[in-house]
């Protein structure tokens, strides 16, 4: 293999730039030509591809977002679109790809490999931390710390006004951000999709807190749970406990941005290097990850289809520490 391409796709995550930097410099150290593909699969189809040098990735390790930009591509979902993308790659002699993204990115990569046989290694770039095959994904640690910083500030207001705050964090169908930021932020309750917490549980927890003379409480809610979003849960609680002063705060996309933490920079760099070395060593149609601090490779099919369980000990910890 003499030439590889790298691209980012789907939602951006802090640490993607550190991963790009690692891919480019690892590739160059091995004598490869490395091409950057802008705007994900859209750029692959349109030929928005350029050769990268060492200086192309200077001064980006500390930056959030992605210098290669990102987009969701409807055209790549068609076989005609994928054929155009393959034509653009072969025109430049690109023999392998490093895909930095989440489940949507890897779903597309899996189909692309099956149809055209191009080797692809994925690096898990998503703040949700919901991909099977890696203990942590690029951007997760930064997102948790961003959420934690917001929770700390909101708690000051909650204490000052004797209020209950429902704070919604990102995570779609995954409660990882909610659990870790909830523990770090001292939340009285964490509502996540992976557990069977009911509306009655929420109400009872807040009642118990009131009976124990707690003047303020924080409830962290992961988006996309069975009980609804933070606004829906809060509306129901207000009807049952009208004496509580309740507010809702949705943190939203601030969790995706910002300078990556030290952990995310190191994780991203390790995954970028391992992705390139995996391609060179014959790995294909796999996601690189870190499990128990060791580099692993998991098939795309398994990474995107197998549910990643949450740590039940952490949920027990939330319950114990909220007493």
Among 12, 33, 46, 128, which one carries the catalytic annotation?
A: 128
Instruction: Give, in degrees to the nearest 5, the angle at Cα 105 between 103 and 110.
Output: 90
Closest CA to 96 of 223, 219, 278: 278
Q: Is 149 a catalytic residue?
A: no
Which residues, at least 6 apart from 82, have a Cβ–Cβ distance to it below 8 Å?
76, 111, 112, 115, 116
The annotated binding site is made up of 11, 21-25, 72-73, 102-105, 126-128, 155, 163, 170-172, 186-188, 212, 214-216, 223, 247, 253-256
The annotated binding site for ADP is made up of 21-25, 155, 186-188, 212, 214-216
Please state at what angle helix 176-184 crosses helix 140-161, rounded to 10 degrees: 50
Query: What's the rounded Cα separation, in Å, for the pair 25 and 257?
Result: 24
User: What token pair was written down for 302?
Assistant: 């398994």
Q: How many CB atoms lie within 10 A of CB 62?
A: 11
The annotated binding site for substrate is made up of 126-128, 163, 170-172, 223, 247, 253-256
Answer yes or no: are the C-beta atoms of 122 and 106 closer than 8 Å: yes
User: What token pair was written down for 157?
Assistant: 């207001």
The annotated binding site for ATP is made up of 11, 72-73, 102-105
Query: What's the rounded Cα separation, in Å, for the pair 28 and 21?
Result: 11
The region, left, alpha or beta by phi > 0 then psi within -120 to 50, assigned to residue 15 is left
Query: What's the rounded Cα separation, in Å, for the pair 11 and 241?
Result: 38
Closest CA to 56 of 18, 92, 21, 93: 21
User: What token pair was written down for 23?
Assistant: 């891919």
The annotated binding site for Mg(2+) is made up of 103
Query: What's the rounded Cα separation, in Å, for the pair 202 and 165?
Result: 13
Half-sphere exposure of 262 (CA within 13 A, CB side): 0
User: What token pair was written down for 287?
Assistant: 């996601």
Catalytic residue positions, numbered: 128
């Amino acid at each position: 293999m003499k030439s590889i391409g790298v691209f980012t796709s789907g939602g951006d995550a802090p640490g993607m730039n550190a991963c790009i930097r690692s891919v480019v410099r690892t590739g160059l150290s091995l004598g490869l030509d490395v091409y950057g593909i802008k705007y994900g699969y859209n750029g692959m189809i349109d030929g928005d591809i350029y050769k990268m040098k060492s200086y192309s990735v200077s001064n980006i390790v500390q930056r959030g977002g992605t210098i290669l930009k990102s987009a969701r591509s409807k055209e790549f979902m068609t076989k005609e679109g994928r054929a155009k993308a393959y034509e653009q790659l072969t025109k430049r002699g690109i023999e392998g790809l490093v895909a930095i993204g989440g489940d949507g990115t890897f779903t597309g990569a899996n189909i692309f490999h099956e149809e055209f046989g191009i080797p692809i290694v994925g690096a898990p770039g998503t703040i949700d931390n919901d991909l099977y095959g890696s203990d942590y994904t690029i951007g997760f640690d930064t997102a948790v710390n961003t959420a934690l910083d917001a929770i700390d500030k909101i708690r000051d207001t909650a204490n000052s006004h004797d209020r209950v705050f429902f704070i919604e964090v990102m995570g779609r169908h995954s409660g990882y951000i909610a659990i870790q930021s909830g523990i770090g932020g001292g939340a009285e309750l964490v509502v996540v999709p992976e557990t069977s917490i009911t509306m009655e549980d929420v109400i009872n927890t807040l009642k118990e807190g009131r009976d124990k003379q707690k003047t303020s409480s924080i409830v962290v809610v992961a988006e996309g749970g069975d009980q609804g979003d933070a606004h829906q849960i809060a509306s129901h609680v207000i009807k049952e406990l009208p004496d509580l002063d309740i507010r809702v705060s949705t943190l939203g996309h601030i969790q995706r941005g910002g300078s990556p933490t030290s952990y995310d920079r190191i994780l991203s760099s390790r995954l970028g290097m391992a992705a390139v070395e995996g391609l060179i060593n014959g790995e294909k149609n796999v996601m690189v990850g870190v499990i128990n601090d060791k580099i692993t490779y998991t098939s795309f099919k398994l990474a995107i289809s197998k549910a990643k369980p949450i740590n039940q000990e952490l949920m027990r910890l939330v319950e114990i520490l909220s007493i």
